[in-house]
Each structure stands twice: as C-alpha cells, then as structure tokens.
A and B are shown apart, each in its own frame.
Chain A
Amino acid sequence: MSVIENVTCPVCGTLCDDLAVTVEDGFITDVKNACAIGEAKFMNFSNPNHRNLKPLIRKEGELVETSLEEAVRKSAEILVASSYPILYGWSCTGCESIRVGIELAEEVGGVIDNTSTVCHGPSILAIQDVGIPTCTLGQIRHRADLIVYWASDPYSAHPRHLERYTSFSGGRFQKSEWEHYVARLRGILGRKRISRTSERMLTKDVSMPAISGEKLPPYFETKKRKLIVVDVRKTRSAEHADFFMQVEPNKDFELLQAMRLLVKDGELEVEEVAGIPVDLMEDVVDTMIGCDFGVIFFGVGLTMSAGKHQNINSAIALTQDLNFRTKFSIMPMRGHFNVAGANIVSTWQTGYPFAVDFSQGFPRYNPGETSVVDILRRDQADAGLIIASDPVSNFPKKAAENLVKNPLIAIDPVISPTTLMADVVFPASFVGIETEGTAYRMDRVPLPMKKLVEPPQNCQSDKVILTRILEQVRLIKKENELG
C-alpha cells in the first residue's frame, strides 16, 4: 500500500493539488481531500461497466470490437476523405495531447474547437475586446476581503473553490470565515427551533433573518472578509454568502451597467434595475468601493444568457471602473480541468484560443462562423473527431443531430452518448490518474497531473492515439499523392 501525496485532481478548473490517494496492488482504494465529484471520479473511474475497454468500429449498424490498428486506419481514412472535419473536445485531456490534435487539424484541413466554445467562449471574446484585470488565486486567498460570485455556483461546479481560495481559506493577510459561517449556521438552526416552537405555541411565525432582501444585514459593515453571491436563483453557494442578490433572468447586463453608473457617482432615476432596488444597489456598490481588494468570479450564467459576451464586457468594465476607486480583480470560473489549457495551447500554436479553422491551409478564427455549434447548425461538417468530451449530450439538438449523421470518431475513457453514436471508438486512459500530463488552472497556472495506476490493457493515452492517427493520415496522403 502506498499513499501518493499532492495529487492534482482531474475534475474542474480549480485543479486542487493537495489530494492524497491510496494505491493498493495497482488499485485506488481511498482518496483524501477531494470534493464529492473528485472522490466519485477517483473511486469509480475503473468501473468496467462504464469504461471503453477495447477499440470499437461500427459494422452493419452495430459497434463491434476491433484492433487498434484497424481503428487507427479507419479514423485516418475518415479524416482524409472528409473536406471539412471538426476536431472537438480537448478540455479533459493534457496539453501534450492538444498540441498533437492541432497538428492533426492542420494536416487534415479541419476545424479544431474546444469546449470553451459552449462555456467561456463569450468571456474570451470580451477579454479580446476590453482586456481583463485579473490575478492568480493565491493573491485572492491571501489578500481579497470582498468576494463576489456572479452567476456562478461554486458549491455545485467547483466545490472546493471557497475552501481553497476564497471565503473559507486562510491567507497571509485574510482569515478564513469558516468559524463565522458555522456560528451563523448554529444561529439559523437555533432560530428555526424557536420558530417551530413559536408556531406551535403562538401560531406566530418568527422567521430567521434573510441573507437576501432590500437591505444589507447589520453585521455586514463590520465583517472582515465578505462574500456576495449574485444569481437568478438562491443557489447552494448563495446559502454560504453574507448577502445574496437575486437578479431577474437575462437582466445581468442591465444590473452591471447600473452598478457601473453608481461607481462613477451617477444617479439612477428608477426605483429598481433587474429586480434589485437602487438603494440596495448603492449599498452593495459602496461595499465594493470600500473594500481593500475585491474580486468578481463569474460563471456561465453570464456567458449563456442574453447578452453573452456583452455581459462579460460589462462585468470587466465594472472591475476596471472599480480600480479607479480601490483594487479589484475579475476571473472566469473555468469548468473542465484543462479547458484553460486548451485555450492556451491553441493560442500559442495557432494564435487563436478556440474555433480555429485550417480549411484554407492557415489558421482562421471567427466565432459564429468557425465555431463548432455554428458549423453543425449550418450542416457544413462532413466528419467529426471528438476527444475527452460528450457533445451528443451537451450540444443543442440540431447540432448534435448533424454531428451524429456524419462519420464520427470518439476518443474517450468512458462510455457516453457520443461514444455510443460514434463509428470508431478508442478506449483512452484517464489523464491525471492513468497518464501524466499538464493542465492549466482557471488562473492560467500550469500544474502537473500525475500517473497513479496503470491503465487497462487496451487503453492508450490520448497523445499516443492521436499521434498514431496523425502518422496514418500522413501515410495515406502520401499514398494518394503517389497515386
């Protein structure tokens, strides 16, 4: 039995690198420090019921076992025969595989796009428009005294973000708010008991103090490290917050612009914006101006709702405005563990972070035209290679239908709707568990991913599979040239 320390978790963009994994006889038997999702991954990744364990190829409508050589040959034939293939996924694999994938996309004249196209793609568009005042998560842990999660629910998507980098982490200059939160929970439980008793005895409701409402709570001003959540519903993260602002769906842009006006000492001639009373908004803006170092973490609630990149433009502009009054930073809450790496590798290899089109022999970038969902909606692609992603589940219906009707290659450790619909399936190993690699955290800090156990016999790393397909593509192209 051995315990491997400082393991980086291959789940979300928080990329926690303090996990301790116990390995016995080549099997993972325990994991410490992981969140619920991380633990579920480490304890279930080897379950043979949901793993792809052998290369598969579709014959007469059915997926049947095949050799790795035949799967590689068939994939290369599909890619060479197609005139506009899409190569999509990349956010749950290492940077080393992404580099080979870009070479393959260039070789076959296809479009390479990563999952940020349906995640923080609009954030990237906004950053390209107006820049971004940001920092690393370490700076936030040590210094930030005001944390704002806007349209982001870290409790559900990045469960240890609060604990490692914001409110519940102890930094050099900031204390953890954990004790305060536990005390507040005790208070709420006590009040609930009193409320229930009074309801029974006096038929009178003694409600607990709301963390949302038309006024900031009384203790808010004196509290040191404050947490504000802005969202369209009271998420689990909102329950941890010192204050929750419930904005109306699709109205974030209006609220952000109104707050910008208040930061600049302007006056609003309305009673409320996006469901938030102006008086409350003024108090929140005063809190933002009054902090020493604040940070806004924004989620896909901004990128996926009306306004899209304009919402992010506005959030970044609010941060820039706040920097005239105090110190403020902003950061997107990146989802998959290496989606930031997919953008970074794509940028250093092609000049563009996603939606890169090689069909003319050189990289071209025009989201809306060269982004995968748009290509599929217009039904322009004639083949697909999907790696470390499940677009059949995650794309809109029309895009998924047009993806599935073309020849489809899937490289994935697990069985998913995409692998079930594919024509060639490669069983891959898990990066960060069965294969080492490099991934970028949401603040663009690269971290090493460890190999902990050996992969199953027929499972190769993404890099090896892609390299073999690339070699075969070059071989077929050479044969075709020679006639």
Chain B
Amino acid sequence: MEKVKVKLLTGRTIDQGTSKEHGKLSSEYQESVAICEIDPSDLKELALKQNSNIKISTKCGSVVVKAIESKRAPHPKVIYMPYGLWANLLIDSQTHGTGMPSFKGIPAYMEPAPDSNVLSLPELLKQVFKKG
C-alpha cells in the first residue's frame, strides 16, 4: 500500500485531558490518546474505516495507532494526534536554538497497518526504553 504524505499536528483534546485523570495506564487514556484524527477524504483515499490501525511515520520513527475520522474537517493531508507517548515518538528533539521542539506541522507519512497492533503504554515503554 502506498504511503500518503501529510502534515502532523499534535495537541490537546478534551478527552485526553479528562482521561489522563483516570490514570495513564487506564483504557480510557489509551483510547483517547493512541489515535490519529484524519480528514474523511484521506480515509477514503486509503480505504480505511473508523478505528482501523494506521502507521504514522516521520524521520524520527513510526507508531501504530487507531485512525479516527476527524470531526474538525476539512483539513485534507493534515492529521492530528493528541499529546502523549505515541505522538511524541514521532517528534524530532532538534529545537533550532529555541529550546522548543516542533510539535506541530511535521512532515509525516501515513499508511494502513492491518497486520500491526496498537501497543499499550507498558508495551511501548518496554519496546522503546528497554526498561520497566
């Protein structure tokens, strides 16, 4: 399947805000953070359904999350991930002398990942940091 070039935005959502108060190991947190909001036209182009697994890649790495049809459309070729470990694995730590990495407007690719799983927080921590 061909990769689609997009711009990745990361940010807050009200669900991310409330679910983190239930605990970052809770299922509510994973369901609200390990997601990617995608424009309906892009979902159609990739023949993806709601909650399908999708792989997002940047030059820093890749992660598999659930694809969610965006309610904030239209924003074709712009995808949105809530703040959290899943999104931040895609972020470059370069700050260009400001102290601030670029968390928004990042060149990225997305592709369907029907054979990959969305890792839970403990699984992801173990895979990335080899600790815990």
A residues at B contact (CB < 8 Å): 11, 36-37, 40-41, 44-45, 47, 49-50, 61, 117-118, 121-122, 125, 153, 155-157, 159, 232-236, 246, 249-250, 300-301, 303-306, 308-309, 354-355, 367-368, 371-374, 376-377, 390, 392-401, 404, 414-417, 420-421
Contact = CB atoms under 8 A, between A and B. Distances in A.
Interface of B: 7, 9, 11-14, 17-19, 21-26, 60-61, 70, 72-73, 75, 78, 80, 83-85, 88-105, 121-122, 125, 128-129, 131-132
A404 B132 CA distance: 11
B13 A156 contact: yes
18 contacts: A37-B18, A156-B14, A157-B17, A232-B9, A300-B11, A304-B102, A306-B102, A308-B98, A355-B99, A368-B96, A392-B125, A393-B84, A395-B101, A396-B92, A397-B89, A398-B93, A404-B129, A421-B125
B99 A371 contact: yes
Q: Is the interface of B mostly helix, strand, loop or mixed?
A: loop
Contact of B11 (A41, A155, A301, A372): A301
B7 to A, nearest CB: 5
Q: Is the interface of A mostly helix, strand, loop or mixed?
A: helix
A130 to B, nearest CB: 15
A35 to B, nearest CB: 9
B80 A233 contact: yes
Contacts of A390: 24
B96 to A, nearest CB: 8
Nearest to B94: A377
B22 A305 contact: no
A416 B24 CA distance: 6
Nearest to B7: A249
A304 B21 contact: no
B24 A50 contact: yes
A155 B12 CA distance: 10
A390 B97 CA distance: 23
Contacts of B9: 232-233, 249
Contacts of A309: 98
A335 to B, nearest CB: 8
Contacts of B60: 396-398
Contacts of B73: 233-234
Contacts of A40: 17-19, 21-22
B105 A306 contact: yes
Nearest to A234: B72
A47 B83 CA distance: 23
Contacts of B90: 397
- Counting from the closest, the 3 A-B pairs by CB-CB distance are A50-B23, A371-B99, A368-B97
Given A234-B73, A397-B128, 4 more contacts: A121-B100, A377-B95, A400-B88, A416-B24
